[in-house]
Amino acid sequence: MDDQTRPQPQSDQPPQQPQWGPPPAEPQQPQWSPPPQQQAPGWGPPGYAAPPPRPMAVTVTGIFFVILGVLVTLMGLLVLVLGQAAGALSDFENMPGLGGAVGGVITVFGVIILVFGILWLASGIGVFMAKQWARIIGIIMGVLGVIVFGLGTMGSLSPEGQSNAAGIVIVLLLAILSAVAVWALATAGPYFARR
């Protein structure tokens, strides 16, 4: 007899069922993602990066320069008007031509004060617009402010000037704010760059 026609012996154990499990895992395909964005130096294409925010000290400087510019400009206009009025006065009896000379000197001082006021005002407005020229003018005007207000503080500390404590405090505060403005504008180069 063949093996195929031969009867198979029966065993006492039931036939084993095949074990079912999850199908074999297929190899994972790599997931591709775009490379990380790197910020390009400067602002503009490619990879536009926002400009740095305005530092608080630059904001304070801009406000200080605008207020100081308006006040000094108004004072310059007032001195200019006074100079014109003094020039229109009639000459003194003993000194002919003195009225015109005094008026001319006062007018020159008025023009100088007016120019300083306009420069402070323009610098303050330009600082808010992040203009490089405003930064340069602001540093120059800040140094002039430190000198002028510093000399005013020293003069007010003399025995003759100590009677007005409020004036001493105001001139000292203006000198300190001018020094802060110079520091703020000198250290804020990245804010003013490429604008």
pLDDT at 93: 54
| Nearest one of 142, 150, 141, 156 to 175, comparing CA atoms | 150
Q: 69, 120 in Cβ contact below 8 A? A: yes
What phi and psi values does residue 13 have, to the nearest 5 degrees? -90, 140
pLDDT at 31: 67
pLDDT at 96: 61
Q: 143, 120 in Cβ contact below 8 A? A: no
| Nearest one of 83, 85, 55 to 189, comparing CA atoms | 55
Task: Report how far apart the first and last C-alpha atoms of the chain are (Å, whole number).
Answer: 103
Tokens matching residue 61: 């400087």
Counting Cα atoms < 13 Å in the Cβ hemisphere of 103 gives 15
Domain ranges (residues) in the chain: 56-192
Q: 99, 86 in Cβ contact below 8 A? A: yes
Kindly list the averaged pLDDT for each block of 10 residues, start to end, along the chain of length 195: 58 64 65 63 56 85 94 93 76 60 84 93 92 92 91 76 73 91 90 72
In whole angstroms, what is the distance from residue 182 CA to residue 139 CA? Answer: 5
H/E stretch holding 89? none
Q: 124, 145 in Cβ contact below 8 A? A: no
pLDDT by residue (tens digit) across 113-134?
Answer: 999 999 999 999 999 988 899 9
| Nearest one of 57, 183, 62 to 123, comparing CA atoms | 62
Prediction pTM value:
0.65
In whole angstroms, what is the distance from residue 157 CA to residue 153 CA? Answer: 6
Q: 154, 27 in Cβ contact below 8 A? A: no
